[in-house]
């Protein structure tokens, strides 16, 4: 505990440097604006800023991008509450009761509780990250290729179990993403696979064009028809204070949402989206008056908003401790810090403590910045929503092209972006979840390499996965979850997703 405290002091000595404070502030500000704009979620925002971080030092780069990430989580709630437009997918559940509160004249308290809940959840999430990541990293030092193979496969099975909507579709999308990850040079044999004569594809398909195409461009293509500027309420600072009763009702959902969100954030998938759905379902179930949900229940804002912010922090645990992304956002962030020669994983905390602890401390700072930024300035931010979408989306589209091109100055990346935009558009029409595609793409080289290394270690004996306790346990857990996910499909039973409203994600 004393060691953790000393490390945290080291972190604050890094995070409170003026240059890092400025970048944390800029990241939070950009993130809030990005989160408010439909079509530009945290992923697109981070991807677009990625090339700009190449010239920065790794601590500043990760602080800036993390600021964008949790800033977008905050920003998404504002449009949900005021306009019933989720700036990003995790805010969908906030629309239900948040917008109902706005219609009842209680927009201010809804915004305040969303901000306070996000602050509490973000702070508790950072404490969890601080305590869990070093322990997990120490444990992961025992991992060899078989353990990594088992861990990655378990992650995919958990993804299938936790996904909103059809498990078959999730697995199909994960397989599609893994296939995309097969494009390029096979590191063990030197073969160039599926490049169709395009030299640039020898390096494989990058996460940025795929992620921005699937999530950013497809959203624009779906929404391009709607061009009418919505009427926006501008709550004043004095309207923001919630009543004592609203504080009392929100305390439990914020605490539960924080814990739940953090735990869901650690496991793979669209954690911040899933956690907000699950939190809403739980709050509705626990409420003595569930009929209030949908009519402006403040618990329906406090729970999901806390959960999605805690999940955003939880996602950093496997990223920093194991070097494994559990979401497209963390995948892009891993790419961002690898550019600087920093390899996330078990050795990161030991070899670069100032980076890890500086990042942790900057998240405390970022949460405070966001609270200060969001509550008093909400009236200013909502002016952005007055820009007609007909003017906004062409600019967002140009940002997508600009951001993708500038990652490696490659036109092939822009073609991939456009192709993924079209594919994402069609897949969303058919109600497929797109997050597994991005995750599969990132995990594919890791799975292939660790599987083949494992087999090389055992002279081709698959029994190696059953001879090593950690690998066996992880595989068994993954298989059990897969079977549980298959159960409602085979026996036509009620799926757990339906009980928490997850199937509505489509």
Partner 1 sequence: MTESNETPRQGARGLLRSDQFSGLMLLALALYVGWQNRVYPVGTLSEPGPGYLPLLLAIFLGAMGLLIALWGARSVPLATIKWTETTRAVVILVACGAATLALERIGYRLTVIALLVFVLGVLERKRPLPVALVALGFSFASYYIVGDLLRVPLPRSPWGF
Instruction: Look up residue 105 and give its two tokens.
Output: 């004249």
Residue 49 C-alpha from the chain's centroid: 16
Based on CB atoms, which residue is closest to partner 1, 237 or 456?
A: 456
Q: Which residues inside 344-403 make contact with partner 1, applying CB under 8 A?
A: 390-391, 394-395, 397-399, 401-402
Per rule CB under 8 A, is residue 220 in the interface with partner 1? yes
Among the listed ranges 131-139, 162-170, 262-270, 340-348, the one in contact with partner 1 (CB under 8 A) is 162-170
* Residue written as token pair 């924080």: 258
Per rule CB under 8 A, is residue 247 in the interface with partner 1? no
* Residue written as token pair 């109902």: 100
To the nearest whole angstrom, how small is the minimum distance from the Cβ of residue 132 to partner 1?
Answer: 32
Distance CA 156, CA 160 (A): 6
Based on CB atoms, which residue is closest to partner 1, 377 or 398?
A: 398
Per rule CB under 8 A, is residue 448 in the interface with partner 1? yes
Q: Tell me the number of residues near partner 1 by CB under 8 A.
A: 62
Interface with partner 1 (CB under 8 A), residue from 10, 16, 132, 182: 182
Among the listed ranges 1-9, 216-224, 296-304, 370-378, the one in contact with partner 1 (CB under 8 A) is 216-224
Q: Which residues inside 49-68 make contact with partner 1, applying CB under 8 A?
A: 51-52, 54-55
What is the number of H-type helices and E-type strands within the chain? 23, 2
Per rule CB under 8 A, is residue 222 in the interface with partner 1? yes
Distance CA 284, CA 263 (A): 20
Per rule CB under 8 A, is residue 219 in the interface with partner 1? no
Distance CA 274, CA 157 (A): 16
Q: Contact, 150 vs 475, CB < 8 A?
A: yes
Per rule CB under 8 A, is residue 341 in the interface with partner 1? no
CB-based burial label for 182 (10 Å; 0-12, 13-18, 19+):
middle
Based on CB atoms, which residue is closest to partner 1, 178 or 312?
A: 178
Based on CB atoms, which residue is closest to partner 1, 168 or 251?
A: 168
To the nearest whole angstrom, how small is the minimum distance from the Cβ of residue 464 to partner 1?
Answer: 11
Q: Contact, 410 vs 202, CB < 8 A?
A: no
Please give the full DSSP string across 407-452, using - where no structure is assigned: HHT-HHHHHHHHHHHHHHHHHHHTT--SHHHHHHHHHHHHHHHHHH
Distance CA 506, CA 502 (A): 8
Neighbours of 414 (CB within 10 A): 16
Per rule CB under 8 A, is residue 210 in the interface with partner 1? no
| Secondary structure letter of residue 190 according to DSSP | -
Chain contacts with partner 1 (rule: CB under 8 A): 51-52, 54-55, 166, 168-169, 171-172, 175-176, 178-179, 182, 186, 188-189, 191, 193-194, 220-225, 227, 390-391, 394-395, 397-399, 401-402, 405-406, 409, 411, 414-415, 418, 421-422, 425, 429-432, 444, 447-448, 451-452, 455, 459-462, 489, 503
């Amino acid at each position: 505990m004393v060691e953790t405290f000393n490390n945290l002091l080291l972190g604050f000595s890094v995070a409170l440097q003026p240059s890092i404070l400025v970048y944390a502030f800029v990241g939070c500000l950009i993130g809030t604006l990005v989160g408010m704009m439909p079509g530009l979620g945290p992923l697109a925002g981070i991807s677009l800023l990625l090339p700009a971080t190449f010239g920065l030092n790794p601590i500043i780069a990760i602080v800036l991008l993390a600021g964008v990430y949790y800033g977008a989580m905050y920003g998404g709630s504002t449009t949900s509450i005021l306009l019933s437009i989720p700036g990003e997918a995790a805010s969908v559940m906030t629309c239900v009761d948040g917008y109902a509160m706005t219609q009842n004249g209680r927009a201010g308290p809804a915004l305040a509780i969303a901000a306070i809940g996000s602050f509490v959840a973000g702070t508790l999430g950072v404490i969890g990250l601080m305590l869990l990541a070093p322990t997990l990293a120490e444990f992961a030092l025992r991992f060899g290729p078989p353990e990594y193979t088992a861990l990655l496969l378990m992650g995919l099975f958990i993804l299938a179990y936790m996904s909103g909507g059809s498990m078959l579709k999730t697995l199909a999308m994960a397989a599609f993403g893994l296939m995309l990850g097969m494009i390029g040079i096979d590191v063990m044999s030197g073969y160039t696979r599926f490049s169709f004569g395009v030299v640039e594809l020898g390096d494989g398909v990058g996460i940025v064009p795929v992620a921005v195409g699937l999530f950013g461009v497809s959203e624009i293509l779906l929404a391009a028809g709607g061009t009418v500027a919505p009427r926006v309420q501008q709550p004043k600072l004095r309207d923001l204070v919630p009543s004592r009763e609203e504080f009392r009702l929100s305390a439990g959902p914020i605490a539960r949402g924080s814990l739940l969100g953090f735990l869901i954030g650690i496991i793979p998938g669209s954690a911040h989206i899933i956690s907000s759905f699950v939190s809403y379902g739980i709050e509705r179930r626990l409420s003595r008056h569930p009929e209030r949900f949908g009519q402006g229940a403040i618990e329906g804002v406090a729970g999901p908003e806390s959960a999605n912010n805690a999940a955003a922090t939880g996602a950093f645990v496997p990223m920093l401790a194991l070097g494994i992304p559990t979401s497209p956002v963390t995948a892009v962030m891993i790419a961002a810090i690898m550019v600087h020669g920093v390899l996330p994983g078990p050795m990161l905390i030991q070899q670069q403590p100032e980076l890890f602890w500086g990042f942790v401390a900057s998240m405390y700072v970022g949460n405070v910045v966001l609270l200060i930024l969001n509550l008093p300035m909400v009236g200013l931010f909502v002016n952005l929503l007055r820009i007609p979408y007909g003017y906004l989306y062409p600019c967002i589209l140009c940002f997508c092209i600009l951001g993708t091109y500038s990652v490696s100055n490659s036109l092939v990346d822009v073609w991939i972006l456009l192709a993924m935009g079209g594919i994402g558009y069609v897949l969303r029409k058919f109600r497929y979840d797109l997050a597994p595609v991005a995750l599969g793409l990132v995990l594919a080289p890791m799975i292939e390499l660790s599987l083949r290394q494992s087999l090389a270690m055992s002279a081709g004996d698959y029994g190696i996965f059953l001879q090593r306790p950690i690998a066996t346990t992880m595989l068994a857990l993954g298989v059990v979850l897969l079977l549980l996910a298959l159960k409602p499909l085979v026996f036509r039973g009620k799926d757990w997703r339906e009980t928490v409203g997850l199937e509505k994600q489509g």
